[in-house]
């Protein structure tokens, strides 16, 4: 266990310092060698891999080394062999193998491994006991499942009944941890790419928008926003919910969610995060852009919820960075002019409404110093045109009109 403890300390040190990636090809090669030579028992290796996977997920450590390693092949082979046993399967070994594999895998997983791992971990997820040990088991299984790429093909018969049951049960009994619940939603929303028929379930039966708003509000009360660093788990949960909103908007085809409470919530999170957590703040503006672009929320909902005020406040921050300004300008352009490829007959983006929106934006800008804003954006707009190959107009009337 001495080697395990040393490696865990190294991982946590790397997570804090972020100087060099630790989960490299060489790292997994050395681990596989130790397992092969029996200087590290496989059960200890799996304990370490799960720990690494947990920290990799919560801290976004780079982990490309595992996907192409001999150790990854070894884990795959062990899952396959254990699953084929007709009797006396070692269920705890299978759990450890599947969780380690899914937590550390960062590319599209083979169909065979999906079919082997997903149903088995869903059995773990369906445990209903509310004791701390079971909650942690369920949390780890859901966290592993949530790391399955959105681009992985998966038949809904493989997962839908179980993941729906666990979300509905939690909504009634509140038996999951916040991390487990967010992971369940992350897994489900990522399946939306292949299954557009999930929209009614996600929006109307499981109430995605309301749940996202409620969970974000609860987390916001826990965080000390004056500190420069958020706890790893809190950071992961915040990013998870905000990214899930973006993913939902990206995947869905048509139809709105009940977004009023969610818009107001994202505005509050944006303001709380602005001083010390700019990444979260910028993602909130990105979500406003996504909700408007995909017609998930109406212009009125965004205006009433405070999205325009929030974006302007961010734009006028003296410390506003390049990416922050980029997201704000994109949002203002979309708000004023609609998508560059708008659906025919979509009254939401009619000429009359666009003019009204431009007037709204002008009035907001006038309150804050309209001319100064346009002048301050000129150089940024030039850079955006050069960097992204798309045209950002430098003409103020393309964003807002005074009459």
Q: What is the pLDDT of residues 24-55, one digit of tens each?
A: 788 889 899 999 999 989 988 998 899 889 98
Is pLDDT of 312 > 90? no
154-192 burial string, b = 16+ CB within 10 Å, else e? beeeebbebbbebbeebeeeebbbbbbbbbbbbbbbbbb
Identify the pLDDT of residue 78. Answer: 96
Among 185, 106, 103, smallest CA distance to 151 is for: 106
Q: What is the mean pLDDT of residues 202-219?
A: 93
Which tokens belong to 25? 């090809």
Q: Distance between terminal CA atoms of the chain?
A: 73
Which of 96, 13, 109 is CA-nearest to residue 61? Answer: 13
Confidence of residue 344 (pLDDT cuts 50, 70, 90): very low
Q: Give the tens place of pLDDT for each residue, 289-308.
A: 898 888 888 888 888 898 88
pLDDT value of residue 319: 62
| Portion of the chain with pLDDT greater than 90, in percent | 43
Enter the tokens of residue 270: 């944006």
Question: Residue 339 half-sphere exposure, CB side, CA atoms within 13 Å?
Answer: 14
Question: What are the tens digits of pLDDT across the range 99-121?
Answer: 999 999 888 899 999 999 999 99
Q: Are 97 and 47 in contact (CB under 8 A)?
A: no
Given a cut of 70, whether residue 345 has pLDDT beyond it is no
Domains of the chain and any CATH numbers: 207-403 (1.25.10)
Confidence of residue 368 (pLDDT cuts 50, 70, 90): low
Asked whether residue 259 carries a pLDDT value surpassing 60, the answer given is yes
Predicted local distance difference test score (pLDDT) of residue 299:
82
């Amino acid at each position: 266990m001495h080697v395990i403890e040393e490696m865990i300390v190294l991982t946590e040190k790397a997570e804090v310092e972020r100087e060099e990636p630790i989960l490299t090809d060489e790292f997994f090669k050395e681990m596989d060698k130790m397992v092969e030579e029996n200087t590290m028992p496989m059960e200890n290796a799996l304990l370490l891999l799960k720990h690494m996977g947990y920290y990799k997920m919560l801290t976004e450590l780079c982990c490309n080394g595992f996907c192409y390693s001999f150790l990854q092949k070894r884990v795959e082979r062990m899952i396959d062999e254990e699953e084929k046993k007709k009797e006396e399967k070692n269920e705890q070994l299978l759990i450890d193998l599947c969780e380690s594999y899914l937590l550390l895998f960062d590319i599209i997983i083979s169909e065979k491994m999906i079919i082997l791992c997903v149903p088995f971990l869903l059995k773990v997820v369906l445990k209903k006991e509310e004791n701390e040990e079971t909650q942690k088991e369920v949390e780890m299984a859901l966290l592993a499942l949530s790391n399955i790429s959105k681009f992985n093909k998966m038949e809904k018969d493989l997962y839908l009944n179980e993941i729906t049951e666990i979300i509905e049960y939690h909504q009634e009994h509140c038996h999951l941890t916040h991390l487990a619940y967010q992971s369940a939603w992350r897994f489900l929303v990522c399946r939306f790419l292949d299954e557009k028929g999930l929209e009614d379930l996600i929006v109307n039966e499981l109430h995605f928008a309301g749940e996202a708003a409620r969970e974000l509000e609860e987390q916001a009360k826990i965080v000390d926003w004056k500190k420069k660093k958020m706890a790893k788990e809190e950071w992961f949960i915040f990013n998870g919910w905000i990214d899930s909103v973006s993913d939902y908007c990206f995947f869905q085809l048509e139809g709105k969610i009940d977004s009023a409470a969610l818009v107001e919530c994202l505005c509050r999170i944006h303001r709380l995060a602005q001083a010390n957590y700019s990444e979260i703040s910028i993602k909130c503006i990105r979500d406003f852009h996504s909700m408007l672009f995909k017609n998930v929320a109406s212009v009125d909902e965004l205006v009433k919820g405070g999205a325009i005020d929030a974006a302007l406040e961010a734009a006028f921050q003296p410390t506003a960075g390049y990416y922050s300004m980029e997201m704000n300008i994109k949002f203002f352009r979309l708000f004023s002019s609609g998508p560059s490829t708008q659906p025919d007959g979509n009254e939401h983006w009619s000429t009359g409404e666009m003019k009204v929106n431009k007037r709204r934006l002008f009035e907001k800008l006038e309150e804050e110093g309209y001319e100064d804003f346009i002048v301050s954006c000129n150089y940024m707009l030039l850079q955006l045109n050069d960097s992204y190959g798309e045209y950002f107009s430098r003409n103020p009337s393309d964003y807002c009109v005074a009459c």
